[in-house]
Amino acid sequence: MSVSTKIRQLAGQTVLYGLGNMLPRLLNFLLIRPQITAFNDPEKFGVLTNILSLVALLNIVYSFGMETAFFRFASPSGANAKRIFNIAQTAVTSLSLLFTGILFLSAPVLMDLMELSQPSLIVYMIFILLADNLTLIPFARLRLENKAMKFALYKLINVLILVGLNLYFLCVVYDPAVGVGYVLIANLIANCFYLFFFAKDLFAWRPVFDKELSAAMFRYAYPVMLTGLAAMMNEFFSRGLLTKLLPEGFYPGRTSQYALGVFGACYKFSVLMNLGIQAFRMGAEPFFFSQAKEKNSPALFALVNHYFIIAGCFVMLAVALNTDLLCFLFIPQKEYWEGLGIVPPLLLGYLFLGIYYNFTVWFKLTDRTYFGTYITVGGALLTVALNCVFIPLWGYAGSSWATPIVYGGMMVACYALGQKYYPVPYFIFSGMAYIILSFVIIYAVKFMPYSNIFISTAGNGLLLLLFAGSAWMWERRRFPRDGVK
């Protein structure tokens, strides 16, 4: 199979996983307007922001990196496929039940730390985590077996239920006493449908613990979990520390929870980049493992990363250049618009994170996942340090700039170590050129005197077409055939 065919195959898988992962989350993104309208207060939206960021962080702990370990140890048609599934499902189920018990016991402490007045919010959050992770390995098996269509269907049904329930709760039966609880209830009900979809797999599962194999999978998985934590820690700490470190009166006449609500609403726009990254990861992770033994795999990985950067720059431009249009469509309340300056640095940070994920292939393939632990610890420490310094000085703008600094540092560290243990001929300078050019365009456009939003949208659309067309012609000249010999 030629390199170009392999890349097209990966692109096709990414599109399908995008339908299953990105499209549902994009539909979920559309709920920002009814949520903001219903809550009618940035402080309440700040509460929801805090809870959902904690859910994302705890999901990494619950799964414990076992999804990646499953890909490493299992094969679609191997004799051990069923046994590895049972071992992985046993590990995730056991850990999920353990962490659920711990969270219930520590619920009063969590409520105090998060400044919540409704105990039910913690209960909903805990059961959302449990439902998510009980079906983690069944979803991973669909990816391993290249059943992307079924994966996409399950995810799409889930989000249609989620969107329908949100619209019903927020627009029809809304009670301010329940407030953000409606969003969590909708998430919980929608996620419980996953248990129904995978009922056959879950009933067929038999708890298995293999002294040697289970231990090997845990040794492989826990550094992956710590690496995943780094991806979420920046988001979680930037939000959690904002309410703690923001000086009183920094934003005149507004509380720190109000500032968090503004930050959380504008943060939603940067998530559009993260959705694309997650869709790519779902297709790329099993792809990298399947191609690892091929002779030209390093060159193939380099080309995949190069095209990923180009696509990421296009998304960064598309979102950053059109924040006015996005606000017009999804956040009509002008009090949120003051935070739009955080969007470009957050988009850049997520792009760096996506490149970092590509670079991590070396320690996953060489079974040196402990290097992920070192990089993660460094990233976590840098996240806390920068937020502690930047938030008192620049508020949520400082927190947003901490994101590309941390993810950029992790990206550079992973690349440098990888070239020592598993050299890959990445296109570093051309990749940097695309990123720098994109960022220059974003800030240059801010000085263009557009008279209204419709003219600016048309002008920005032409810029995007020019960028895409120029990139396509340049890459066609550089790689007229496969790009890898």
pLDDT in tens, 136-188: 999 989 888 878 788 878 888 888 898 899 889 888 888 888 888 898 999 89
Residue 235 has pLDDT above 70, yes or no: no
Q: pLDDT at position 483, please?
A: 46
Q: Does residue 247 lie in a domain region?
A: yes
**80, 217 in Cβ contact below 8 A?**
no
| Average pLDDT, integer, range 120-124 | 91
Q: pLDDT at position 173, please?
A: 85
Q: pLDDT at position 3, please?
A: 56
Q: pLDDT at position 9, please?
A: 61
Q: Does residue 485 lie in a domain region?
A: no
Q: pLDDT at position 230, please?
A: 64
The single-letter code of the amino acid at 233 is M
Q: Lowest mean pLDDT: which of 219-223, 300-304, 453-457?
A: 453-457
Q: Does residue 274 lie in a domain region?
A: yes
pLDDT band at 62 (very low <50, low <70, confident <90, very high): very high
Q: Does residue 91 lie in a domain region?
A: yes
Q: Kindly report the average pLDDT of the chain as a whole number.
A: 82
Q: pLDDT at position 20, please?
A: 55
Q: Does residue 484 lie in a domain region?
A: no
Alpha-carbon distance of 353 to 341, in angstroms, equals: 20
Q: Does residue 262 lie in a domain region?
A: yes
What is the C-alpha radius of gyration for the chain, rounded to an integer number of angstroms?
22
Alpha-carbon distance of 390 to 206, in angstroms, equals: 50
Alpha-carbon distance of 284 to 14, in angstroms, equals: 8
**128, 191 in Cβ contact below 8 A?**
yes
Q: pLDDT at position 485, please?
A: 44
Identify the three-state secondary structure at position 414: helix
Alpha-carbon distance of 426 to 412, in angstroms, equals: 12
pLDDT band at 326 (very low <50, low <70, confident <90, very high): confident
Q: pLDDT at position 7, please?
A: 59
The single-letter code of the amino acid at 105 is L
For residue 224, give Cα distances in angstroms to 57, 296, 360. 14, 26, 10
| Average pLDDT, integer, range 250-277 | 80
pLDDT band at 432 (very low <50, low <70, confident <90, very high): very high
The residues, any chain, with a CB within 8 Å of residue 435's CB and separated by 6 or more, are 309, 313, 348, 351
Q: pLDDT at position 452, please?
A: 67
**What tokens appear for 312 in the block?**
């990421």
Domain total for the chain? 1
Alpha-carbon distance of 126 to 44, in angstroms, equals: 20
pLDDT band at 438 (very low <50, low <70, confident <90, very high): very high
Triad 382, 388, 393: Cα angle to 5°: 125
Q: Does residue 292 lie in a domain region?
A: yes
**What tokens appear for 214 in the block?**
């289970």
Q: pLDDT at position 137, please?
A: 94
Q: Domain residues for 179?
A: 3-478
Q: Does residue 139 lie in a domain region?
A: yes
| Average pLDDT, integer, range 33-51 | 69
Q: pLDDT at position 484, please?
A: 47
Q: pLDDT at position 257, please?
A: 77
- Within the chain, how many helices (H) and strands (E) appear? 22, 0
| Average pLDDT, integer, range 210-234 | 80
**56, 232 in Cβ contact below 8 A?**
yes
Residue 418 has pLDDT above 60, yes or no: yes
Alpha-carbon distance of 330 to 311, in angstroms, equals: 24
Identify the three-state secondary structure at position 3: helix
